[in-house]
């Protein structure tokens, strides 16, 4: 397809479509993709971009993977979908068994949902129903970490960071939750005693109204791309037990190897009471999420009123999504993924090092297959996005964060292309977040 068609497609898009966090009035740059394979996106105009985003952390094995394609094609021959009320099927059963096997101990029951936000809603409802069943209906609020991100539906939003989660805009609509400071920044930075005291105080003071503590273990994603000490997570586990509050770990972003462990909870060797999975679950092929919990929580819900867990998505446990998830997990576990993530970590460290001393850069941090360049000021997406495309890469910053989260299968050269592009584009920004070179 030629460039004219590409422009025509984008113009037609703009006439009718919303994009994530977009306006139908002030348009942001838009690029039409014709196909994707391995770590490359092919644009309609023929340009190829090395993908640094894994389509929002999901595509761990790269695009158009023959094994994942085959899993969907095979499942399609049996059935694309069947309702999950009163019916079951092998892909759902096998995937549930697999998830129970690979996640932290004690998480033995699986609820499939259709997106990460819904998995979080399900987790919050499980916690509320758990306490309700135990005769403690007052325990229905949540405490969350500042800088957290847990999804875009209303109750999930209520546990997102109150500032970046735009709680003022939805003031009066969102349930009022409690927040504690984000833990001291840095994976290897010792946990701050003040952070633990703050957490303990809020748990102690509000124990009679708190259903759960919600957090992203070790890596806070879309709320600021922050890393924190596994010791904090370990302490949070202890404190939740002490004050009778459920620990809800949202591993939608961190799950399936991204931080260097299969699940980020493993850094602290803890198991939450409720675990949310999504994003890379299907290898980025389809939308599917899961909420796992313990027999203790599930049994209490079953024994209470109304005796059932009150949720049931229409597309619950979609067979094709389950089949591709199984194939993706097998592919991951059979691959040398730890070595690959370690190689990516090393490549990101060296490749992003030139940014460290730039005055427009506030911080450079790397953990597992996550590389972050935090700028002093937010970037101007209107100008930065096309610059990355000119460099032959797909990198999509948000706010003042330019980050890389490539598919695990990326080779050394492609990774270098990504980090060089980040250094080049960041290098052209001035300290105010504009550009040093006029007209660029």
Ligand X SMILES: *Cc1c(COP(=O)(O)O)cnc(C)c1O
Residues near ligand X (CB under 6 A) are 115-117, 120, 149-151, 216, 221-222, 250, 252-253, 278-279
Instruction: Please report how close the Cβ of residue 342 comes to ligand X at its closest, in angstroms.
Output: 23
Phi-psi region of 20 (alpha: psi -120 to 50; beta: other; left: phi over 0): beta
How many whole angstroms separate alpha carbon 57 and alpha carbon 195?
Answer: 29
Instruction: Please report how close the Cβ of residue 156 comes to ligand X at its closest, in angstroms.
Output: 7
Closer of 278 and 347 to ligand X (Cβ): 278
Positions marked catalytic: 21, 149, 250, 279
Closer of 316 and 426 to ligand X (Cβ): 316
Instruction: Please report how close the Cβ of residue 250 comes to ligand X at its closest, in angstroms.
Output: 5
User: Are the C-beta atoms of residues 328 and 282 closer than 8 Å to each other?
Assistant: yes
Closer of 111 and 149 to ligand X (Cβ): 149
Instruction: Please report how close the Cβ of residue 262 comes to ligand X at its closest, in angstroms.
Output: 16
Which structure tokens are listed for 97? 């068994």
Closer of 255 and 347 to ligand X (Cβ): 255
User: Are the C-beta atoms of residues 395 and 418 closer than 8 Å to each other?
Assistant: yes
Closer of 237 and 279 to ligand X (Cβ): 279
- Contacts of residue 200, defined as CB under 8 A and 6 or more positions apart, other chains included, come to 239, 243
Which structure tokens are listed for 153? 């539906």
Instruction: List beta partners, residue 213.
Output: 143, 247
Closer of 43 and 247 to ligand X (Cβ): 247
How many whole angstroms separate alpha carbon 77 and alpha carbon 55?
Answer: 27
Which structure tokens are listed for 70? 């085959």
How many whole angstroms separate alpha carbon 204 and alpha carbon 349?
Answer: 41
Instruction: Please report how close the Cβ of residue 313 comes to ligand X at its closest, in angstroms.
Output: 12
**Where do the H-state alpha helices sit in 371-438?**
381-390, 412-428
* Three-state DSSP string of 217-264: CCEECCCCCEEECHHHHHHHHHHHHHCCCEEEEECCCCCCCCCCCCCH
Instruction: Please report how close the Cβ of residue 136 comes to ligand X at its closest, in angstroms.
Output: 27
119 sits in which H/E element = helix 116-133
Instruction: Please report how close the Cβ of residue 390 comes to ligand X at its closest, in angstroms.
Output: 28
Q: What are residue 128's phi and psi, to 5 degrees? A: -65, -45
Closer of 54 and 222 to ligand X (Cβ): 222
Closer of 20 and 66 to ligand X (Cβ): 20
- Closest residue (Cβ) to ligand X? 116
- Contacts of residue 308, defined as CB under 8 A and 6 or more positions apart, other chains included, come to 301, 302
Instruction: Please report how close the Cβ of residue 403 comes to ligand X at its closest, in angstroms.
Output: 13
Closer of 257 and 278 to ligand X (Cβ): 278
User: Are the C-beta atoms of residues 106 and 141 closer than 8 Å to each other?
Assistant: no
Q: For residue 42, how far is the Cα from the chain centroid?
A: 24
Which structure tokens are listed for 163? 């500032």
How many whole angstroms separate alpha carbon 131 and alpha carbon 100?
Answer: 24
What number of CA atoms fall less than 13 Å from residue 86's CA on the CB side? 0
Instruction: Please report how close the Cβ of residue 22 comes to ligand X at its closest, in angstroms.
Output: 15
How many whole angstroms separate alpha carbon 276 and alpha carbon 290?
Answer: 6
How many whole angstroms separate alpha carbon 362 and alpha carbon 382?
Answer: 22
The per-residue b/e assignment along 164-188, b for 16 or more CB within 10 angstroms, e otherwise, is bbebeeeeeebeebbbbebbbbebe
């Amino acid at each position: 397809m030629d460039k004219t068609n590409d422009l025509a497609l984008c113009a037609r898009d703009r006439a009718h479509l919303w994009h994530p966090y977009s306006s139908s009035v002030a348009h942001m740059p838009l690029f039409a993709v014709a196909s994707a394979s391995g770590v490359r996106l092919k644009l309609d105009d023929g340009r190829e971009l090395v993908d640094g985003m894994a389509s929002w952390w999901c595509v761990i094995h790269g695009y158009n993977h023959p094994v994942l394609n085959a899993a969907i094609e095979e499942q399609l021959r049996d059935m694309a979908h069947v309702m999950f009320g009163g019916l079951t099927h092998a892909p759902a059963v096998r995937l549930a068994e697999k998830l129970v096997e690979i996640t932290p101990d004690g998480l033995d029951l699986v609820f499939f949902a259709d997106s990460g936000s819904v998995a979080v809603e399900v987790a919050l409802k499980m916690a509320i129903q758990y306490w309700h069943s135990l005769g403690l209906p007052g325990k229905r609020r949540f405490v969350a970490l500042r800088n957290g991100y847990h999804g875009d539906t209303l109750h999930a939003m209520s546990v997102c960071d109150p500032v970046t989660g735009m709680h003022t805009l939805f003031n009066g609509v969102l349930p009022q939750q409690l927040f504690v400071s984000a833990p001291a920044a840095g994976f290897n930075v010792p946990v701050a005693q003040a952070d633990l005291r703050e957490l303990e105080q809020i748990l102690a003071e509000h124990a009679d109204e708190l259903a759960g503590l919600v957090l992203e273990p070790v890596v806070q994603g879309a709320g600021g791309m922050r890393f924190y000490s596994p010791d904090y997570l370990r302490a949070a586990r202890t404190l939740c037990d002490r004050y009778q509050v459920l620990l809800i770990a949202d591993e939608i972003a961190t799950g399936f190897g991204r931080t260097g462990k299969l699940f980020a909870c493993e850094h602290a060797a803890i198991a939450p009471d409720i675990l949310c999975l999504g994003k890379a679950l299907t290898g980025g092929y389809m939308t599917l999420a899961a909420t796992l919990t313990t027999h203790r929580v599930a049994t209490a819900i079953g024994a209470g009123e109304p005796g059932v867990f009150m949720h049931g998505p229409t597309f619950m446990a979609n067979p094709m999504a389950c089949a591709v998830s199984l194939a993706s997990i097998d592919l991951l576990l059979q691959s040398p993924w730890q070595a690959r993530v370690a190689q990516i970590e090393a490549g990101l460290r060296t490749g992003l090092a030139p940014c460290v001393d730039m005055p427009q850069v506030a911080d450079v941090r790397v953990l597992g297959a996550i590389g972050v360049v935090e700028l002093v000021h937010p970037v101007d997406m209107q100008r930065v996005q096309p610059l990355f495309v000119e460099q032959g890469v797909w990198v999509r910053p948000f706010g003042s964060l330019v980050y890389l989260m490539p598919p695990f299968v990326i080779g050394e050269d492609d990774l270098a292309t990504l980090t060089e592009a980040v250094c080049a584009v960041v290098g052209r920004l001035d300290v105010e977040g504009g550009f040093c070179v006029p007209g660029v």
